[in-house]
Amino acid sequence: MTDRTHPPDADLVSERVGRLTTDALVTRRGYLKILGVLSGGLAVGNVAVALGAFERRTEGADQEQLITTDLAAIPVGGELRFSYPTDNDPAVLLRLEDDLFVAYSAVCTHLACEVLWVADDRDLFCPCHDGHFDPIDGSPTAGPPQRPLPEIVLERRGETIVAIGEGRVREGED
């Protein structure tokens, strides 16, 4: 049991305080080192992800891709699902009027769920958080999405439609 009647030895107290101070410095230094390593790792990771996303977004963005050779198979108000610019990029072609075709990335600009075409409501709908987009220009009309769906450039060649980049249907040579 500790004898509490005598004041502690001053040298002992001084030595213990010194050790505690040294330990605290080491701990603080170690903590800062860990923070530095984590911050550096996060920064490198963010740059890598950004570069990867940019590469994916631009990869094949201007490439020509046949969407359909049979426009008659798509009724007014109908849709055709496809992928563009890569097989991992879902997209949707809509026939809004007899001669009006539009196409968008089908990836919701909120948290990347796939949007659905609700023909009766003429609405591009994201079921994840009740997001809605205007089929005319892909702009968000309700729910959490703030950015429009990326539009895909289409070129019509008779009964054929080809994706060529971004925008609306342009009449091409037959």
Contact footprint for ligand FES (CB under 6 A): 108, 110-111, 113, 126, 128-129, 131, 143-145
Could you tell me if 114 and 107 are in contact, meaning their C-beta atoms sit under 8 angstroms apart? yes
Minimal distance, residue 19 CB to ligand FES, in Å: 55
**For residues 85 and 145, which CB has a smaller minimum distance to ligand FES in the complex?**
145
**Cα(first)–Cα(last) distance of the chain, in Å?**
101
Minimal distance, residue 51 CB to ligand FES, in Å: 24
CA angle 108-152-124, nearest 5°? 40
**For residues 44 and 142, which CB has a smaller minimum distance to ligand FES in the complex?**
142
Could you tell me if 61 and 85 are in contact, meaning their C-beta atoms sit under 8 angstroms apart? yes
Could you tell me if 115 and 107 are in contact, meaning their C-beta atoms sit under 8 angstroms apart? yes
**For residues 100 and 118, which CB has a smaller minimum distance to ligand FES in the complex?**
118
Minimal distance, residue 127 CB to ligand FES, in Å: 8
**Residue ranges of the alpha helices (H) in 8-137?**
10-58
**For residues 74 and 128, which CB has a smaller minimum distance to ligand FES in the complex?**
128
For 87, the token pair is 């097989």
Minimal distance, residue 91 CB to ligand FES, in Å: 16
